[in-house]
Amino acid sequence: MPHSLVQRVLVPAAFIFLWSSAYIVVRLSLPDMSPVASLALRFTIATVVLLALVRSAGQPPAVLGRRWPHFVWLGLTLGVTGVVLVVGVAPVPGRSVAAALLAVGGIVCFAVGTIYFRRYCGGGALLAGNAVQMGSAAVLCAVLAATVEPFHVAWTWRLIGSTLYLALAVSVGAMGLFGLMLRARTAGVVSSNFYVIPGLTAVLAWVVLGETLTATAMLGFVVSSVGVWLAQREVA
């Protein structure tokens, strides 16, 4: 299979699917654990896994050199803030003006975080950089969970399975693909992938959760998919 096809099609498609599926899995596990605490748990598991991969690959965090603080500062904070805004504070976005504004704020945070990562972190060792990011995210979310939300947890198989999927498939897998894309493409092209995610999430929610799929949502998914395809094609 040509390397260009993998970089231009398969990697973005896998990233979009994994990231979109995260919202569905979060919805499934939301009744079992307070949302920000679940993020802290998810990022902690991802950190442990990444540190094991870093060790097996002989890629200690020290290889980041002077760039390692950039993996902990503004970009990470904005990215985690986006996650909290979208799935933590507003678990059912789109039902009110406030929820819609929170969702938009989350997308803005993702975009700004992407630009910051591309500028300061794109050349770093991928595994070590992701390990530092996930560890920092775990600490930040643990602090937020202890200060901004009432804690509750019910240890069900649904929660365990959802948490493992989110940690391994999304935090390790999708974020690894995200880093690969940022190494090969511009921040603007990589950010364009996020435009497809709301539409695909609506489709997955219809398939998995039985939610209503409106004609407007389906049209938006098709239009955004065409737009992202054109963006990827223009810089090929």
pLDDT of residue 201: 79
What's the half-sphere exposure (Cβ side, CA atoms, 13 Å) at 178? 27
pLDDT of the chain, 236 residues: tens digit per residue: 555 656 666 888 888 889 889 888 988 888 899 988 999 999 999 999 998 988 887 766 665 556 555 555 744 454 444 444 444 444 444 455 565 566 666 666 666 777 666 666 655 567 777 888 888 889 988 988 898 889 999 999 999 999 999 999 999 998 888 878 877 766 566 767 777 777 787 888 888 888 777 777 777 777 777 776 666 665 54
pLDDT (0 to 100) of residue 44: 95
Its domain, for residue 67, covers: 3-234
pLDDT at 156: 94
In the chain, the amino acid numbered 26 is V
pLDDT at 133: 82
Cα atoms in the 13 Å half-sphere on the side-chain side of 53: 18
Instruction: Provide the CA 36 distance to its chain's centre, in angstroms.
Output: 14
Number of domains present in the structure of the chain = 1
Distances (CA, A) of 100 to 35, 87, 157, 175: 18, 12, 31, 25
pLDDT score for 96 = 55
From CA 47, how far away is CA 42, in angstroms rounded?
9
First to last CA, the chain: 17
- Give the pLDDT score at 182: 76
pLDDT of residue 168: 95
